[in-house]
Chain A
Amino acid sequence: MNPIGYSTGALAHGDVARGLSVVRRLGIRVAELSALRLRELDPMVAFVDGADLSDFNYLSVHAPTDFAPTDEEHVVATLERLACARKWPVIMHPDAVWDFALWRRLGSCLCFENMDKRKGKARTADELADILSLTPEAQVCFDIAHARQVDSSMTEAYRLLRRFTTRIRQIHFSEVSSGSRHSPVSIAGLRAYEQIASEVPDGVPVIIESPASVDEAAIEVDAVERFLNYASVARTQVS
């Protein structure tokens, strides 16, 4: 079974501490600490250094996506110290990278995410493979909503899952609108995701990115549980 967690950014925009407290209230112990903006990174370091997170079974860090080339060394060094030293995966948008040589330092703790259709990189399996060729040790964060937005027939999702089966270290779960905004998963979205459920690797943490209040987040967790139960059965049927 895949552990289910939540992104702190989806629960409490830019506030890791509050996000984690909501995660705890949901009764789950899996989370992605989100610092999508550069200004959120140093406060996150300060918080993590002073917090007791020992009750969590799995944590990852979503790296900033808005830094300038002059800040890149600082970002990489901070993530090495914050995440890699604790063996937490670092989830990164490939289009935010300026110098891939710097990011190679993160080794296998670096996970590149497949991107939404607005981006010029890593939207498809082929494009993501190009990125991974620059960082041979990097792993993959499979974003199911991005994959569906890029190709609603789910063929690209299937390709991504098949091609990177052994490299997928985390899964992002939500729905993405045509305007590329994350939203709660709809029935149509779940139906589409079920088409490739059998390919979802067992045991990989699933992080929900749907923006939500506590009550709404509980509904999302239920939806993901149902999806993962479906995936579990689907995997059995094809094996």
Chain B
Amino acid sequence: MAVDDDTRDRSPVPLAVVATPPPTISPMASASQQRPIFRLEARLGANWPNLRTCEENTKATLGQIEAKVGKLTTPDTSLVLYGSLARREFTADSDADWTLLVDGQADPEHLNSTLEAANGIKGIGIKVPGREGTFGQLTFSHDLIHYIGGQDDSNTNTTRRILLLLESTSVGQSAAYDRVTRNVLHRYLSEDHGWLQGRNPYGVPRFLQNDIARYWRTMAVDFAYKQRLRGGEGWALRSTKLRLSRKLIYASGLMYCFSCREVAAIAEGKEGTASRLQLAIDHLLRVGMQPPIDIVADVLDRNDEFHEAARAFGDAYDQFLGLMADSAIREHLENLPQEDASTDPTYELVRHLGHRFQGALDRVFLQPSKSGIFELTMRYGVF
């Protein structure tokens, strides 16, 4: 994990990547534009039908949820959706990972709103959230904002916080959601002294990046934990997700942090710390509004040198979504015993897709390129 190290930050020989202007790796899409993943699909002449079907499913489902329970939200409460709905990868077998986020005065009615939200979402016919209890209930802004690290930052709290930044959306009134997201970012950035003072020549916020890395490692460790706890039940499906959709969150998280160097370049020499802070919060809000795949796809699209890897990235991910949308395959993976994995053709396909996806990420993050991402990964993604 990266640690704050002023000596290293003040390296007299900055990597070429920080020369102005830096290569564009910042996702810039706005809501009115075509999603970056589909822009990339068109540019490469690829065909990713599962991604498009998932987009349609997501749009329809979010509309249903909004119509059914959006009215439960207030200026102090937002209905936040995580998981496949936030990734815009919803399929018939997906569950709705949601929480009622409270940022305001304590009110006993909040629980009733949560129960109504649960009933409303269930009434649409969507599967209930997983058994860990991370979703499907109330979340309080104070925990997300104040408990970063330390004894009180539970797995659940870390998950809710990091996904709020990288894999979330809201329906109904979004004021509380917007406010909490900004305040979480405010904590990561304003307490990153080296970054705030402009002493970090790469402009990548270490506190934030370290927590995103921690979350990824936590997911990987929890995979083993759940495997043991559940006696192997459902391991193949969890492994499939870890290899692709969970890994994608981390890849997008790295891009999210790396993109801050462009804010640093804008702020360089012209602004005080207040402007640097607010410009970065604004920037990360815009980037984080996109699903993880779009954060990565935008970078791949803008850098020709990654187009071959982009093809493998998109093809593998689209096929993965095809598998997840097939109820029979999903059930097969859910029930596949670990000892049969090496001879199971479906799991072999999953492994192949996972390797192809990883190969594409290796090209982008772990091999030298003009984009400078390799150097940033070396500097921030490992130690």
Contact = CB atoms under 8 A, between A and B. Distances in A.
B278 interface: yes
A154 B189 CA distance: 13
A198 B105 contact: no
B104 A150 contact: no
Q: Which of B270, B274, B285 has the most CB of A within 10 A?
A: B274
A123 interface: yes
Contacts of A152: 179, 183
A238 B275 contact: yes
A179 B107 CA distance: 12
Interface in B252-306: 270-272, 274-275, 277-278, 281-282, 285
Contact of B175 (A123, A158, A234): A123
A24 interface: no
Interface in A32-62: none
30 contacts: A117-B75, A117-B175, A150-B175, A150-B179, A151-B178, A151-B179, A151-B182, A152-B183, A153-B185, A154-B186, A155-B186, A155-B278, A155-B281, A155-B282, A156-B182, A158-B274, A158-B278, A158-B282, A159-B278, A159-B282, A179-B105, A195-B278, A196-B278, A197-B274, A198-B272, A198-B274, A199-B274, A234-B272, A237-B272, A238-B272
Given A153-B185, A195-B277, 9 more contacts: A150-B175, A151-B178, A151-B182, A155-B186, A158-B274, A159-B282, A199-B274, A199-B275, A234-B272
Nearest to A195: B274
Contacts of B271: 238
Q: Which 4 A-B pairs have the closest CB atoms?
A: A153-B182, A158-B278, A153-B186, A238-B272
A151 to B, nearest CB: 5
A86 interface: no
Contacts of B105: 178-179
Interface residues of A, number: 22
B183 A153 contact: yes
Interface in A158-215: 158-159, 178-179, 195-199
Interface in A83-127: 117-118, 123
A113 B277 CA distance: 25
B165 to A, nearest CB: 13
Contacts of B185: 153
B104 A234 contact: no
Nearest to B176: A117
B369 to A, nearest CB: 33
Contacts of A195: 274, 277-278
Nearest to A152: B183
A196 B274 contact: yes
Interface in A200-239: 234, 237-238
A104 to B, nearest CB: 29
Contacts of B275: 158, 198-199, 238
Contacts of A178: 76, 104-105
Nearest to B184: A153
Nearest to B280: A155
A29 B10 CA distance: 51
A184 B185 CA distance: 28
A179 B105 CA distance: 8
A238 B278 CA distance: 14
Most buried by B among A151, A152, A155: A155
Contacts of A179: 105
Given A196-B278, A238-B271, A238-B275, A155 B75 contact: no
Contacts of B175: 117, 123, 150
B282 A118 contact: no
Contact of A155 (B182, B270, B272): B182
